[in-house]
Amino acid sequence: MRDREAQEISMLALDLLQSALVLVNTRLVDMVLDAEDWQAKLTDHDLRGLTPMLWSDVACTARSSPT
């Protein structure tokens, strides 16, 4: 029973870490977009590419029980 609780805590900690990573990535992109020198450099194509960039380093995990 203790192993199952430890696994659940580990999974929840990983979820928290992933959420924090997404937040940091979003804030970094916000800072770039707020900078006036970057606003002039970014094209429409660049802006369309931002969404995948925010999630590219996040590996979403399935929440199903192992079989």
Per mean pLDDT, which range of 8-17, 26-35, 58-67 is the poorest? Answer: 58-67
DSSP state, residue 66: P
Average pLDDT, the chain: 78
Contact (CB, 8 A) for 53 and 32: no
Higher pLDDT, 24 or 47: 24
Higher pLDDT, 27 or 1: 27
pLDDT digits (tens, 9 = 90+) for 32-43: 888 888 888 888
pLDDT at residue 64, as a whole number: 46
